[in-house]
Amino acid sequence: MKKFLLKGIIKDRGRSLLPVIVVATGSLLTVFLYSWLTGVMGESIELSANFNTGEVKVMTKAYALEAEQFPNDLAILDADALIGQLKEFEPEVDWVKRIRFGALADFPDSLGETRGQSPVVGWAVDLFGEGSKEAKRFNLESSLIRGYMPETEGEVLITEELAKRFEVNPGESFTLFGTTMEGGFAFYNLTVSGTIVFGATGIDKGAVIMDINDAQRAFAMEGAAGEILGFLPDKYFNIDGAEDIKSRFNALGIKAAEGESDDFAPVMITLRDQSGMAEMLDYTGAVSGLMIFIFVTAMAIVLWNGGLLGGLRRYAEFGVRLAMGEDKGHIYRSLLYEALMIGTIGSLIGVAVALPIVFYINVHGIDLGGMMQNATMMMPTVVRTHITPTTYYIGFIPGIFSMVLGNALAGIGIYKRQTSRLFNELEV
């Protein structure tokens, strides 16, 4: 019977073509939307990790208590030695030094007098190290508006809004005022190599990106780093992997350097442990799950209605088959088998069409930078789909389940047909 039904679906296109197209479209949209939503949420988390949190972060115990204030007087003193230990401990993780700071930028006029001053927030990262991925993590080349990327020591990037406010052009110098690691007064001359736009109003008002070696000299932090961030090889945040690394590292109980108090002993936390990130992860997960559930449900209702209407239109056919003596149960089962085959064929086509599209966007992304120029929060300008094991089967949920359910409900009417009235109905 199954072979007979399959031949009927293939040859009778007038009856099966439209349902297959509807199911394939629904499956395609389901796969694409799932991958898109998980990609957007994942990119947002990844952006936060790249800028601030890392997937795991190592700090001193004292620094961790006041991390939001960037207390560089509590920084890791021998950061290079600790990174060496971390690379031996977990070689697959990319460990990088960072210094976060708040300072005052003084912009001089043509006579060397102060033209204007502005508070700035800064990131000191490894811009010149061989194999460093820091510039890519900050998306600096794509964010560059004027000038060029820093090429030598003393060159920095500032935000375009800050540059326009004080009429600063690439090639001009300014002085950065701050405090040293010992609490003293620090000032350091820097040259603007270029201007950037991150797409977040709060940061674009005043931010500086500089090489970590310049920051170490500027703030008397030679060999030190405020934070050491770790990035796992996974494309998106791996909660279980990060928690495992944190637990094993903290269990080692690495002591502070000789002569230092226990407050300077290194401690590791994950992205989820940092301020507001647990709530953000839970919120994005809930929103993503809810939106996917709503869409899958909506597609299921559409396909269910399609199956229901398809079954209702065939009541005359069912009547003829009953009049010829076919058993009601056999007709009902054949209807369900047929719906299952149509749902499977349509779902396979939809998933087969969706996957190349999803893979293409995963690799190349879609640039939405023009839509985020006035954004008030940091969002990725290039959005990519996210491919998970669920991507490969989620399209079958509305495609098969809804089609079978719709035909199952429509087929109930088969049992309500009265053989005594069939010939009257057929004559009409």
Query: Is residue 273 one of the residues assigned to a domain?
Result: no
Kindly report, residue by residue over 292-334, the tens digit of the pLDDT.
677 767 766 776 666 566 655 666 666 666 667 777 777 777 7
Q: Is 190:155 a contact under the CB 8 Å cutoff?
A: yes
Q: Are residue 31 and residue 111 in the same domain, yes or no?
A: no
Higher pLDDT pick, 97 / 33: 97
pLDDT at residue 208 tops 80: yes
Q: Is 120:105 a contact under the CB 8 Å cutoff?
A: yes
* Cα-based distances in Å from 46 to 55, 277, 360: 8, 12, 20
Q: What are phi and psi of 173, to 5 degrees?
A: -110, 160
Q: For residue 91, what are its two tokens?
A: 């070689």
What is the structure's pLDDT at 376?
44
Q: Are residue 145 and residue 226 in the same domain, yes or no?
A: yes
Query: Is residue 242 one of the residues assigned to a domain?
Result: no
Kindly report the length of the chain.
Answer: 428
Kindly report, residue by residue over 35-91, the tens digit of the pLDDT.
888 887 777 777 788 888 888 999 999 998 888 888 888 999 889 999 999 999 999
Where in the sequence is the domain holding 308, given as residue range(s)?
2-47+280-427
CA dihedral 65, 135, 93, 269 (to 10 degrees): 10
Q: Is 270:56 a contact under the CB 8 Å cutoff?
A: yes
Q: Are residue 213 and residue 71 in the same domain, yes or no?
A: yes
- Bridge partners (DSSP) listed for residue 228: 58, 97
Number of domains in the chain: 2
Q: Are residue 291 and residue 216 in the same domain, yes or no?
A: no
State the DSSP H helix or E strand holding residue 125, giving kind and residue range, or none if neither.
Answer: strand 114-125
Give, rounded to a whole angstrom, the gap between the first and last alpha carbons of the chain. Answer: 31
What is the structure's pLDDT at 50?
86
Query: Is residue 107 one of the residues assigned to a domain?
Result: yes
Buried b (16+ CB within 10 A) or exposed e, 134-160: bbebbbbeebbeebeebeeebbbbbbb
Q: Is 114:106 a contact under the CB 8 Å cutoff?
A: yes
Show the beta-strand stretches assigned E in 126-206: 144-147, 155-159, 173-179, 185-196
Q: What is the mean pLDDT of the chain?
A: 81
Residues 6+ apart with CB under 8 A from 109: 115
Helix (H, G, I), strand (E, B) or coil at 428: coil
Q: Are residue 43 and residue 60 in the same domain, yes or no?
A: no
Query: Is residue 238 one of the residues assigned to a domain?
Result: no
What is the structure's pLDDT at 6?
60
Tell me the one-letter amino acid at 64. A
Q: Are residue 383 and residue 422 in the same domain, yes or no?
A: yes
Helix (H, G, I), strand (E, B) or coil at 146: strand
Euclidean distance between CA atoms 316 and 321, whole angstroms: 9
Count other Cβ atoms within 10 Å, centred on residue 297.
Answer: 13
Query: Is residue 22 one of the residues assigned to a domain?
Result: yes
Give the domain-ending residue among 231, 259, 289. Answer: 231
Cα angle value 342/322/320 (rounded, 5°): 75
Q: Are residue 13 and residue 135 in the same domain, yes or no?
A: no
In the structure, what pLDDT confidence band is assigned to residue 230 with cuts at 50, 70 and 90?
Answer: very high
Query: Is residue 250 one of the residues assigned to a domain?
Result: no
Query: Is residue 79 one of the residues assigned to a domain?
Result: yes
Kindly report, residue by residue over 362-404, the tens digit of the pLDDT.
888 777 655 555 544 455 566 788 888 888 888 888 778 777 7
Q: Are residue 30 and residue 123 in the same domain, yes or no?
A: no
Give the domain-ending residue among 204, 231, 258. Answer: 231
* Cα-based distances in Å from 324 to 3, 298, 410, 419: 21, 39, 21, 10
Closest CA to 355 of 399, 385, 397: 385
Query: Is residue 265 one of the residues assigned to a domain?
Result: no
What is the structure's pLDDT at 315?
62
Kindly report, residue by residue over 163-186, the tens digit of the pLDDT.
999 999 999 999 999 888 888 888
265-269: average pLDDT: 91
Q: Are residue 304 and residue 402 in the same domain, yes or no?
A: yes
pLDDT at residue 338 tops 70: yes
Q: Are residue 141 and residue 288 in the same domain, yes or no?
A: no
Euclidean distance between CA atoms 186 and 251, whole angstroms: 38
Q: Are residue 302 and residue 405 in the same domain, yes or no?
A: yes
Count other Cβ atoms within 10 Å, centred on residue 170.
Answer: 17
Q: Are residue 188 and residue 313 in the same domain, yes or no?
A: no
